[in-house]
């Protein structure tokens, strides 16, 4: 049974956001979407692999090529990394040579989650409801640049009266992340410590899962 068959059988609504993690069959599932599923879906978060875990499974390049072909662009990629195990021992080779450094510095990418958004040429169109859904989806995934572009567009401003539009803008302004004074100091101290230890600071993980 395909995703579309399941939705038709149980009369479920078409979601605007879909997340797929099925141990290697993700691409087959997306390929079985019917046109309605594709046309009303704005964001797809999909598990991807860079190394073959299950025999014959598609890798990231296969999934990315297909997603691009059906009108979706890669927005973000949350990577999963690992060190090489041996005899069940993590960080085996680092420990063998007495490394007391952060093991993250030699990790290898093996997979992750890719976040795709429908590109501008294949978006919903001018439907007011769908435009609002698109805006909310961007906010949920913390893609504030794209959300603000929609917020400031002429089409979006026609959906609300002046007071409601002002309220939406104030709400967006209130939820955009800002560094606190303590966070700025902490980041600065971290960079100083990194300089003296010659150890890179790990970048924070994508915040949208």
pLDDT in tens, 100-138: 556 566 677 888 999 998 876 455 455 787 788 888 888
pLDDT in tens, 25-40: 899 999 998 887 887 7
| Least reliable range by pLDDT among 10-24, 35-49, 110-124, 194-208 | 194-208
Q: Phi and psi (nearest 5°) for 118?
A: -65, 135
Q: Which ranges in the chain belong to alpha helices (H)? A: 3-9, 26-31, 35-39, 60-69, 92-96, 128-140, 144-151, 154-157, 162-175, 181-197
């Amino acid at each position: 049974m395909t995703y579309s068959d399941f939705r038709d059988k149980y009369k479920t609504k078409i979601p605007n956001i879909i997340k797929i993690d099925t141990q290697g069959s993700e691409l087959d599932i997306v390929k079985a979407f019917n046109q309605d599923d594709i046309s009303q879906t704005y964001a797809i978060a999909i598990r991807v692999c860079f190394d073959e875990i299950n025999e014959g499974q598609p890798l990231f390049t296969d999934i990315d090529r297909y997603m691009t072909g059906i009108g979706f662009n890669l927005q973000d990629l949350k990577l999963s990394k690992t060190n090489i195990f041996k005899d069940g021992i993590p960080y085996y080779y680092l420990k063998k040579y007495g490394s007391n450094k952060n093991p993250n510095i030699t990790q290898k990418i093996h997979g992750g989650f890719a976040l795709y958004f429908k590109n501008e040429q294949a978006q919903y169109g001018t439907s007011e409801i769908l435009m609002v859904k698109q805006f909310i989806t961007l906010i949920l995934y913390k893609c504030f640049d794209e959300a603000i572009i929609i917020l400031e567009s002429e089409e979006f401003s026609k959906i609300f009266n002046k007071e409601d539009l002002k309220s939406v803008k104030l709400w967006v302004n209130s939820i955009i992340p800002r560094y606190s004074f303590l966070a700025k100091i902490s980041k600065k101290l971290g960079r100083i410590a990194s300089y003296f230890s010659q150890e890179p600071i790990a970048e924070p993980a994508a915040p949208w899962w």
